[in-house]
Amino acid sequence: MHSFLSRGNAIIAYSLSVLALLTFFCFLSTEFLDYRAKAKISTPKILVKNVPDYSASRRENDLGYLTFDLQADLTPLFNWNVKQLFLYLSAEYSTPNNALNQVVLWDKIILRGENALLDFKNMNIKYYFWDDGHGLKGNPNVTLTLSWNIIPNAGRLPIIQSIGSHSFKFPSEYTTDRL
Amino acid sequence: MIVSSALMIWKGLMVVTGSESPIVVVLSGSMEPAFHRGDLLFLTNYQQEPVRVGEIVVFKVEGRDIPIVHRVLKLHEKKNGTIKFLTKGDNNSVDDRGLYAQGQLWLTNKDVVGRARGFLPHVGMVTILMNEYPKIKFAILAFLGLYVLVHRE
Amino acid sequence: MNVFDRFEIPLHMDYDGQRRAEKYSKIIITLFGAVGLIWGYIIQRFSQTVYILGAGFILATIIAVPPWPIYRKKPLQWQKPRSDDAKKGKAAPANTEQNTNKTKKKK
């Protein structure tokens, strides 16, 4: 502690250790909170088409199309250690081809401070609902779930499923006209 | 001594997490606003926990040295448990097929370095600075060397 | 330091001053950190915690890094040079205590 440098160095080192400790307290204070919430999902419109998938194999694959309604209040999920929520709506189903298929249809980033009270009507999906084959036509059980990945300031990155999902079935005939 | 204990901790972490690289620094802005350049991610790669949609995976692509940190967008799992999946960066407008190797359409388990489980902001900035401006690294080394020589305690 | 010495500006802290400077800086940073944590938790903003700690860091730097005159109030009382130093055998034991004391503190 006899020179500018050694004193400055000691203060920087001590400040950084205190910062690390504070960050750890912040992480601890939110680690055991319950981040579940309810969501209400429905699908007003469902179609399935059979068209060439140019993004992948170029073979003709089933392409699902739907619009959805979504209501959820995610405001209570935010606290001082939640920087953003990554929200996504995923469809889960099984086909003769695959035991499990999961496709994200829509996603949204909600930063802290932004409106987290969701009320969407007749939303279009954001990503193509391609199946890996022909498993969508007449599929009796496709489940839509809303999930969120919590991005903290520091800490774990949990993925939480909403309470409340929505199951539907695809029509047993392809739609041939353009969307 | 310090070097060997650091190596031991690293190898120990590799065993505990099952990942070949348990800690990675985010190098691109493709996952903004969740992860920025210089943020630190802690990874695990347990084989008994299969990859699921929405997870953030770190994967390697043939012909690219640097692993990529992106989110799983869609996934198909066969009855025997083999998985193929497609990823996308939160901040990118298109999926990652353009980033994969020529002709590669899907990622599989063997491409995965780990799954992001923990997050610490900004800590990795030091390594980024050192890699991008090697002069800083040499300046620090030179300064430390001089310091040791001048201050003998 | 040599440059400054020529202008007769004292730039050192005495040993007691160094001890106090370190104590003050730790107290300030710890206090700001603790207050920042509580305040940040109350208003649920961790960024405020970090800013308050940053303010504490700046204050500690201002208070404890420059060699302010208050850190020079207890200069070491050096023993007067003794005339009988020349006589070997007698001088050595008389000086040991002072010497060890000095080297220890310098660390």
- Catalytic residue check, B70: yes
Which of A80, A111, A153 should we substitute to test contact with C (largest number of C Cβ atoms within 10 Å)?
A: A80
DSSP H or E run through C40: helix C15-43
Whether A179 has a pLDDT exceeding 70, the answer reads no
Q: Which residue of A has its CA nearest to C34?
A: A22
What is d(CA A18, CA A1) in angstroms, rounded to the nearest whole number? 19
Put simply, whether A98 touches C (Cβ < 8 Å) is: no
Q: Choose the catalytic residue: B19, B39, B96, B111.
A: B96
The 10s digit of each residue's pLDDT in B13-63 is 999 898 888 999 999 999 989 999 999 999 999 988 899 999 999 999 998
pTM over 0.90: no
Q: Which residue has the higher pLDDT, A122 or C8?
A: A122
What are the pLDDT digits (tens) for B63-110? 888 899 999 999 999 999 899 999 999 999 999 999 999 889 999 999
Q: Is the pLDDT confidence value at C104 over 60?
A: no
Range B54-57, long-range pairs (CB < 8 A, 24+ positions)? B54/A86, B54/A88, B54/A90, B54/A104, B54/A147, B54/A149, B54/A159, B55/A149, B55/A159, B55/B115, B55/B116, B56/A149, B56/A157, B56/B31, B56/B115, B56/B116, B57/B87, B57/B107, B57/B112, B57/B113, B57/B114, B57/B115, B57/B116
Cβ pairs bridging A and B (under 8 Å): 83
ipTM of this complex prediction, to 2 decimal places: 0.88
